[in-house]
Amino acid sequence: MAVILGIESSCDETSASICINGKVINNEIASQAIHEQYGGVVPELASREHQRNIVPVIDHVLRHAGINANKLDAIAYTRGPGLLGALLIGNSFAKSMAASLNIPLIPIHHMKAHVMAHFIDDPKPSYPFICLTVSGGHTQILKVISPTEMIILGQTQDDAVGEAFDKAAKLLGLPYPGGPMIDKMAKDGDPYKFKFAESEMPALDYSFSGIKTSILYFLRKELKNDKDFITNNINDLAASIQQTLISMLMNKLINAANQENINQIAIAGGVSANSGLREAIENGAKKYGWQTFIPDFQYCTDNAGMIAMSGHILYQEKAFGDIADSPLPRMPF
Ligand code: KG4
Ligand code: ZN
């Protein structure tokens, strides 16, 4: 049994969480609104914001949990993948705190932690299960055999699906981050009004770079006839783009479930917050007899709850890191 502090700083959220005996009791997230005006995350600004936020965020979760720092048994932190300067803030803080308290460090892989978010709340999947991991940097179909053993059954060969959502939103003139905006507008739109070509990839792999070009050419053509085409059709455009991306994700996910003969299906990562994808997964449950697992919203996008939970699991296995470990922006899976 253990008290773990989790720290996440891989991109633009500074987050901390306390996990006591396997129960995540808080999850504080400081989001960085500053990137909105630049239409994307500016790495140098992200590092500065992390530096500003990390002490208050950690202080908050310790106080909220009524835990004195000297009661911590270990510190789990995101070692990668992510932005180097952003990771460095969390890594340096975790290392110095662990050294001063003389407790172990637990380095965590950010994408594996997204999968481990499924062990925060009930119902929890049992092994093996399939997890569609969809974020701003990754799109993977995983066969999860244990907390440490995950096999990549398929993945994107170019852009991540979150990137496709964000780039499409940019073409529609929506502010960053575009994914949640498309989700919101799609609720009032017709998902079958416009048709965009779905890229074909072999086996269980994906490609999302082509859809951006196909949307761009489509908009250019329509804008020639009607300069207000986007404004006049914004909800239908959002709904149709979302529908295309979800259809691509679902087709391969269904194939993966059949291929592996596994009916426990989970989704993880920022795009799993998308209401259309959540609905498609629930429909899959009815249609294919899946048992589905969808994390609570706060554990879909970047958060330290998933880092603290991963830390709890790895603490049992004594999977400790070293003070000399450096951040790994391209941490291998
Ligand atoms: O996991 P995450 O928070 O950060 C990374 O590790 O990348 O994922 C961020 C991605 C962004 O591309 C964002 O637009 C997308 O998740 N996202 C969404 C929604 N919420 C976040 N995409 C579609 N619909 C949403 N509701
Ligand atoms: Zn993430």
CATH number of domain containing 207: 3.30.420.40
pLDDT at 176: 86
Q: What is the distance between the alpha carbons of residues 194 and 172, in angstroms, rounded to a whole number? A: 14
For the cut 80, the answer to whether the pLDDT of residue 154 exceeds it is yes
The structure tokens 């990668």 sit at 80
Q: Are residues 54 and 136 in the same domain?
A: no
d(CA 179, CA 274): 8
CA of 269 to the centre of ligand 1 (A): 7
- Probe target for ligand 1 pocket from 212, 271, 294, with the most ligand atoms within 8 Å of CB: 271
Same domain membership, residue 137 and residue 110: no
**Given pLDDT bands bounded at 50, 70 and 90, which one contains residue 254?**
very high
Q: Which residues line ligand 1 (CB under 6 A)?
A: 11, 135-137, 162, 165-166, 177-180, 183, 269-271, 273-274, 301-302
Residues 152 and 210 in one domain: yes
Is 308 part of any domain? yes
pLDDT at 202 over 90: yes
pLDDT band for 171, please (50, 70, 90 cuts): very high
CA of 227 to the centre of ligand 2 (A): 37
Scored b (16 or more CB within 10 A) or e, 184-222 reads: ebbeebebeebebebbebeebbbbbebbbebbeebbeeb
Read off the tokens for 283.
Answer: 């429909």
Task: Give mean pLDDT, residues 56-68.
Answer: 97
pLDDT at 82 over 80: yes
* Whether residues 98 and 132 fall in one domain: no
What's the pLDDT at 306? 98
Q: What confidence score (pLDDT) does residue 125 get? A: 98
Residue 189, helix vs strand vs coil: coil
At residue 248, the pLDDT reads: 97
pLDDT for 36 equals 86
Looking at the structure, do residues 55 and 187 belong to the same domain, yes or no? no
Residue 330 included in any domain: no
Based on the domain organization, do 305 and 280 belong to the same domain? Answer: no
Mean pLDDT of 41-57: 96
Q: Which atom in ligand 1 lies closest to the alpha carbon of residue 302?
A: 3
Q: What is the pLDDT of residue 39?
A: 84
Q: Is residue 142 part of a domain?
A: yes
Judge whether 322 lies within some domain. no
User: Residue 177 has what pLDDT?
Assistant: 85
Would you say residue 34 lies in a domain?
Answer: yes
Return the closest-CA partner of residue 329 out of 136, 115, 109, 159.
109
Spatial contact of 127 and 147, defined as CB atoms under 8 Å apart: no
Nearest CA to ligand 1 atom 2: 270
% of the chain with per-residue pLDDT over 70:
100
Check whether residue 20 and residue 108 sit in a common domain: yes
One domain for residues 285 and 308: no
Residue 174 shares a structural domain with residue 203: yes
Confidence grade of residue 287 (pLDDT, cut at 50, 70, 90): very high
In a domain, 284, yes or no: yes
Answer yes or no: do 141 and 269 share one domain.
yes
Ligand nearest to the CA of 179: 1
pLDDT (tens digit, 9 = 90+) per residue, 294-326? Answer: 999 999 999 999 999 999 999 999 999 999 999
Q: Region 86-93: what's the mean pLDDT?
A: 98
CA distance 232 to 24: 45
pLDDT, mean over the chain: 96
Shared domain check, 161 and 234: yes
What proportion of the chain, given as a percentage, has pLDDT over 90? 95
Over 80: is that where the pLDDT of 1 sits? no
Average pLDDT over residues 153-179: 95
- Domain region containing 130: 125-294
328 part of a folded domain: no
What is the domain count for the chain?
Answer: 2
State residue 267's pLDDT score.
Answer: 98
- Ligand 1 atom nearest the C-alpha of 135 is 8
Does 279 fall in a domain? yes
Give CA separation, 243 vs 163, 169, 235, 322, in Å: 16, 14, 12, 45
Q: What is the pLDDT of residue 298?
A: 95
Residues 132 and 249 in one domain: yes
